[in-house]
């Protein structure tokens, strides 16, 4: 399937997994891109993540609230410069609550969102199929995309393989996965370089922000 062939309507991709295209207007996208740039600065800035097998993740990452490392959460950058992780900003807490209500309806009470993982994808970056399973809570994961368009593969909770659904995530899109889909495998097989056209202050590459409830003691 090629870029721009995929539907752009709001859709429930799997039970509890909701895609809302164009959820963030351009001003909010610009605000988030600028904020990500600030969060990326050292100390506790953007870093390359090394996996226990000796590999490196191709997407570079900065964390807020708690520091994620393969595979757990810490208060400091235990696999980097050792600095305390930056605080989880109110802006992202508000966005997470809004996103949960957008996905599941105004009657839904959002959890206490306290972690953000910001991933930066350059031209060759991708992310293999994985589950977000280091949290101690099962509140939905909220994902916001900025900049270049990617192919997002959303699968099932049993295995990395089929069945899965491919979705195009563009700048401003919201994707929320909770309920039966909270621990589903997902990944980013591909980013289309230049597809974001620099419109929201991202000259190149893709940013994804996932907002999570850690379930860890404050």
Task: Using the minimum distance from each CB to Fe ion, give the nearer residue, 23 or 154.
Answer: 154
The residues binding ligand AKG (CB under 6 A) are: 117, 119, 127, 132, 143, 152, 169, 186, 188, 208, 210
Check whether the bond before 178 is cis (ω within 30° of 0): no
Alpha carbon distance 58, 188 (integer Å) = 11
- Cβ-closest residue to ligand AKG? 208
Alpha carbon distance 1, 65 (integer Å) = 37
Compute the least distance from the CB of residue 4 to ligand AKG, in Å: 18
| Phi and psi angles of residue 95, each rounded to the nearest 5 degrees, phi first | -60, -40
- Residue 134 engages Fe ion in binding (rule: CB under 5 A): no
Task: Using the minimum distance from each CB to ligand AKG, give the nearer residue, 17 or 117.
Answer: 117
Check whether the bond before 71 is cis (ω within 30° of 0): yes
Q: Where are the alpha helices (DSSP H) in the chain?
A: 26-39, 90-104
- Which of 132, 134, 137, 192 contacts Fe ion by CB under 5 A? 132
Among candidates 95, 137, 100, which has minimal Cα distance to 116?
95
Compute the least distance from the CB of residue 118 to ligand AKG, in Å: 9
Of Fe ion, ligand AKG, none, which one sits near residue 115, judging by CB under 5 to 8 A according to partner kind? none
Q: Is the dihedral of CA 7, 190, 101, 15 positive or negative?
A: positive
Q: Bridge-partner residues for 76, per DSSP? A: 84
- Cβ-closest residue to Fe ion? 132
Task: Using the minimum distance from each CB to ligand AKG, give the nearer residue, 58 or 105.
Answer: 58
Task: Using the minimum distance from each CB to ligand AKG, give the nearer residue, 156 or 208.
Answer: 208
Task: Using the minimum distance from each CB to ligand AKG, give the nearer residue, 95 or 127.
Answer: 127
Compute the least distance from the CB of residue 106 to ligand AKG, in Å: 26
Of Fe ion, ligand AKG, none, which one sits near residue 19, judging by CB under 5 to 8 A according to partner kind? none
Residues in CB range of 74: below 8 A, 6 or more apart: 66, 67, 85
Check whether the bond before 177 is cis (ω within 30° of 0): no
Task: Using the minimum distance from each CB to ligand AKG, give the nearer residue, 100 or 142.
Answer: 142
Given the rule CB under 5 A, which residues bind Fe ion?
132
């Amino acid at each position: 399937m090629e870029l721009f062939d995929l539907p752009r309507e709001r859709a429930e991709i799997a039970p509890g997994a909701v895609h809302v295209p164009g959820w963030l207007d351009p001003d909010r996208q610009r605000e988030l891109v600028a904020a990500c740039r600030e969060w990326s600065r050292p100390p506790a800035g953007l870093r390359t993540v090394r996996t226990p097998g000796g590999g490196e993740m191709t997407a570079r990452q900065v964390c807020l609230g708690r520091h994620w490392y393969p595979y757990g959460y810490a208060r400091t950058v235990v696999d980097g410069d050792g600095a305390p992780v930056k605080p989880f900003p109110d802006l992202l807490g508000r966005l997470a609550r809004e996103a949960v209500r957008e996905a599941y309806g105004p009657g839904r009470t959002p959890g206490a969102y306290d972690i953000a993982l910001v991933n930066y994808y350059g031209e060759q970056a991708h992310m293999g199929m994985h589950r977000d399973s280091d949290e101690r809570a099962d509140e939905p994961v909220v994902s916001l995309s900025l900049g270049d368009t990617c192919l997002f593969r959303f699968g099932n909770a049993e295995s990395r393989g089929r069945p899965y659904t491919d979705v195009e995530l563009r700048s401003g899109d919201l994707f929320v996965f909770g309920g039966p889909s909270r621990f589903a495998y997902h990944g980013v097989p591909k980013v289309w370089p230049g597809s974001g056209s620099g419109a929201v202050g991202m000259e190149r590459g893709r940013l994804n922000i996932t907002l999570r409830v850690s379930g860890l003691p404050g």
